[in-house]
Amino acid sequence: MINYWNAQRCLTSPRSSRYDARGATNATEWSERPPRGFGQRSRFNPTRRPSVLTIHHIRADESGIYRCRVDFRTSQTRNALINVSIIIPPSAPVIATLGRLVTNHTAGPYSEGEMAAITCSSTSGYPLPHLVWYSSDGDVVDDVYSTSDLEVQNTLKIDPLTKKHFGERFLCQASNNNVTLPASANVTIDMRRKCTLSSSGSNDICLDHEDP
């Protein structure tokens, strides 16, 4: 029996791994060197049921349709196909507002009554992740995102900003699979709140519009 594993449709070039058991006492296994093979990264275990091909340190460009072909001395050749998807989890997304990156987890300051546009973006992960904004209570605020070839974005818009938004925290979460934990970044709203100056003796006091 000869067992062939072939990556038929990789992103770059085919890979192959072979196991020859035509001699029961001297079965051999080999894989060609990259780019045509996995080199020392692949191992085939024929004693498992079913038999298992293990590939160590697999890369994104090695995703695709893998074909297992078994050749017998007298019987007909058998083939089996499997689609292998490689997932690279994303790193933490980047948040920007007012034309600059948010580096201290604080967005603003904004003026009360204006609109806040806070953009969460990611260029990492394979495939690119989907981005979702959450409130501090864990509720979904915005799950609409746009994707290009190299980047995904989700812009949270708050219009208008009111007193209740001051100090409110939002979380942008990036995820592209259901195995690893999502990556995230958070931001807190900073605002310049409207007030009216009131003189008390020699001191000026700023009264909030909602103060009595």
CATH number, domain of 108, equals 2.60.40.10
Is 183 a member of any domain? yes
Q: What domain range is 188 assigned to?
A: 94-192
**204 domain-assigned:** no
Residue 17, pLDDT > 70, answer no
Question: What's the pLDDT at 50?
Answer: 80
Structure tokens at 73: 């001395």
Residue 109: its pLDDT value, please? Answer: 95
The pLDDT of residue 12 is 42
Cis status of the peptide bond prior to 160, with omega within 30 of 0: yes
Q: Are residues 105 and 71 in the same domain?
A: no
Which secondary-structure segment (H or E) carries 83?
A: strand 78-84
Same domain, 146 and 75: no
Assess whether 103 and 178 both reside in one domain. yes
Give the chain's domain count.
2
Q: How confident is the model at residue 212 (pLDDT cuts 50, 70, 90)?
A: very low
User: How large is the greatest C-alpha to C-alpha distance in the chain, in angstroms?
Assistant: 107
Q: Model-level pTM?
A: 0.71
Backbone φ/ψ region at 149: left (φ over 0), alpha (ψ -120 to 50), beta? alpha
Question: Binning pLDDT at 50, 70 and 90, where does residue 10 land?
Answer: very low
